């Protein structure tokens, strides 16, 4: 695969490897916000991502307003994995969306969310989470995905479309079709993922 053009834009050589120390699940609980704040202040991390459907997301938003130089993304969430601490979609309470389990929360597992989620409902939910972040004082620097749930042929196109719409880099592996096949993906999914990576690079989004 050709060198990543973003390296050149950042002043690195094609053979350089650049590490971003990233923390996700910010806003899941109060401790996640405090820990992120401390680690950021000490210079031990360089980036994070907030879970907007969770109880302490507004505390994370307040941190971003207080410290606007914080590099904070949106940790796009379609699952609620803990047994007794749960969260729900921001965009709907309609069971027909496929986003809600029998208890009215997101499904516990990635497989369940991928099996039940309606692609249009998923897109609306992902967009709602981005909009909710912006409306509450987070200036997103990127998007990524909780538990990798968007990495499914039904959901990947919406993930990339939103990245292009909001001009936000999506966290996604930069691989060609062969690379995706080597990870065990089927031919159709590998081809789709490689095409979407190329579309992002053509649009100048790293």
Quick one: which of 177, 179, 134, 130 has its CA closest to 150? 130
pLDDT of residue 201: 85
CATH at residue 35 = 3.20.20.370
- What value, to the nearest 5°, has the Cα angle with vertex 49 and ends 15 and 80? 125
Domain count, the chain: 1
Cβ contact 34:105 at 8 Å: no
- Tokens encoding 172: 């996604």
Q: pLDDT of the chain along its 206 residues, tens only?
A: 788 888 888 899 988 888 889 999 999 999 999 999 999 999 999 999 999 999 999 999 999 999 999 999 999 999 999 999 999 999 999 999 999 999 999 999 999 999 999 999 999 999 999 999 999 999 999 999 999 999 888 999 999 999 999 999 999 888 899 998 998 888 888 898 899 888 888 888 87
Q: What is the pTM of this model?
A: 0.92
147: containing domain: 5-202
Cβ contact 134:106 at 8 Å: no
Burial class (CB in 10 A: 0-12, 13-18, 19+), 174: middle
pLDDT of residue 136: 98
């Amino acid at each position: 695969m050709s060198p990543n053009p973003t390296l050149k834009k950042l002043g690195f050589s094609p053979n350089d490897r650049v590490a971003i120390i990233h923390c996700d699940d910010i806003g899941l609980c109060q401790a996640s916000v405090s820990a992120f704040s401390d680690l950021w202040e000490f210079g031990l991390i360089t980036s994070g991502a907030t879970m907007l459907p969770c109880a302490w997301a507004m505390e994370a938003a307040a941190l971003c307003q207080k410290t606007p130089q914080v590099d904070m993304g949106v940790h796009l969430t379609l699952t609620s994995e803990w047994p007794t601490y749960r969260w729900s979609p921001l965009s709907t309470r309609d069971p027909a969306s496929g986003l809600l389990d029998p208890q009215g929360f997101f499904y516990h597992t990635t497989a369940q969310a991928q099996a039940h989620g309606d692609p249009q409902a998923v897109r609306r939910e992902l967009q709602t989470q981005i909009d909710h972040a912006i409306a509450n004082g987070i200036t997103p620097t990127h998007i990524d995905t909780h538990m990798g749930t968007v990495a499914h042929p039904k959901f990947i196109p919406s993930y990339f479309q939103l990245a292009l719409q909001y001009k936000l880099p999506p966290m996604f592996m930069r691989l060609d079709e062969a690379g995706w096949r080597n990870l065990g993906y089927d031919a159709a999914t590998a081809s789709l993922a490689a095409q979407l990576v190329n579309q992002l690079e053509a649009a100048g989004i790293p």
